[in-house]
Amino acid sequence: MKPIKLTNGQIEEICKLAQDQRRILGFMNEAPIANDLFTILENLNIHLLQYPISSVSDRPAFSAVLLYLCEEGKELVFVGVNTADYFDKQIFAIAHELYHYFTKTGTHLSRLDMEDDEYNLIESKANRFAAEFLLPESQLREIIQAEFRDASLKLISIKTIQRFIARLQCTWWLPYRSLVRRLHEIDAITESQYEELYELSERDLQSEYGKIGLAINAETFRKLNRRTEEVGTSPQGIEYIIRNFEDHLISEDTFAETLQLFNRTPSDFGYEIIVEDEDLDDPMYFPRQEDMDEG
């Protein structure tokens, strides 16, 4: 099976969608979204769920999931992100899920790595949208032109390109390999440059690229290359859980057990509920790896 290559028409459509949504959300091309992505979810009334689901292999069990629920005629939208993955890939995965949200492609589970996504048209489009949404092509071209006085990096040394990518990464918060892909997609680097850059050990902070990133912006670079393992949800998500309990849609035990997933207790919200320790320790109340693999 050959990797899917998006047509010029498909790319133009994706770029327009990303540009339109950035403008609607108040971001001009020169403005990085970066950490504001979490505020965007809140403004879109999308509930964020964060939970680490580790994998037996080096690759995460899944990247992110988009879920729709309907309660009393009202649609509720959730994005779940696997915090066992690197933080910059979490950012990319959320942007990926926004493509499915904006295009109304329905409930979606992203469990493939970008290499595998090359063989799926919708996933290829979602990945291209995520890259374009986080760093518009027009802005990337302007940055290259302003810095190198040329539209191409084909005569630039690999070390110089690495420093350039590291600065892009610390500003725009895309994963290293996504940035390498972006440069290749816009024909700014040659095939051989792409292959050499793509094979670098970008996660090893003691590697050549790792040292460059740390020298440019140690705090941001470490954050982007860390598996956060964070457990939590948006304030709206917690409120949804509480109201389900107050409306008697879930029991006291389920209320306490669900909050426990996000390191919260009923007493944090003024409710005194006692749940036996053995119940909280029961694995049936927590996501299991085999359950995720069946999703």
Residue bearing the bigger pLDDT, 152 or 30: 152
Res 141: pLDDT: 97
CB 59 within 8 Å of CB 28:
no
For helices 235-246 and 252-261, what crossing angle results, to 10°?
170
Q: Quote the CA–CA distance of 137 and 143 in Å, as a whole number.
A: 10
Give the pLDDT confidence of 12-56 residue by residue, as tens digits: 999 999 999 999 999 987 899 998 999 999 999 998 999 898 876
Query: CA-CA distance, 130 to 65, in Å (whole number)?
Result: 15
233: three-class secondary structure by DSSP: strand
- Tell me the pLDDT band of 280, cut-offs 50, 70 and 90: very low
* pLDDT for the residue 292: 35
Q: Average pLDDT of 111-127?
A: 70
Higher pLDDT, 294 or 122: 122
Pick from 48, 76, 75: nearest CA to 64: 48
- In a 10 Å sphere around its CB, with 0-12 CB exposed, 13-18 middle and 19+ buried, how is residue 202 labelled? buried
Q: Which amino acid is at 277?
A: D
Q: Is the pLDDT of residue 200 over 90?
A: yes
Q: How does pLDDT run across 72-118, given as a tens digit for each residue? A: 677 788 899 999 999 999 999 999 999 999 998 765 555 545 455 55
Higher model confidence: residue 33 or residue 280? 33
Residue 6 φ/ψ region, left for φ over 0, alpha for ψ in the -120 to 50 degree band, beta for the rest: beta
pLDDT 10s digits, 153-174: 999 999 999 999 999 999 999 9
- For 205-262, write each residue's pLDDT tens digit: 999 999 999 999 999 999 999 999 998 887 777 887 898 889 888 888 888 888 887 8
For helices 137-148 and 158-172, angle between their N-to-C axes, nearest 10 degrees: 130
The amino acid occupying position 96 is: H
Q: What is the distance between the terminal CA atoms of the chain, rounded to a whole angstrom?
A: 24
pLDDT the model gives residue 288: 38
Q: How far apart are CA 170 and CA 168, in angstroms?
A: 6
Helix (H, G, I), strand (E, B) or coil at 71: strand
Tell me how far apart the alpha carbons of residues 183 and 143 are, in angstroms, rounded to a whole number: 12
Q: Which two tokens stand for residue 120?
A: 């799926």
Q: Residue 278 pLDDT more than 60?
A: no
Q: Rounded to an integer, what distance in angstroms lies between the CA atom of residue 79 and that of residue 94?
A: 7
More confident residue, 58 or 233: 233
Higher pLDDT, 215 or 121: 215
**What's the rounded Cα separation, in Å, for the pair 52 and 87?**
12
**Per-residue pLDDT at 9:** 96
Q: Which pLDDT score is estimated for 216?
A: 97
**What distance in Å separates the CA atoms of residue 175 and residue 167, rounded to the nearest whole number?**
12
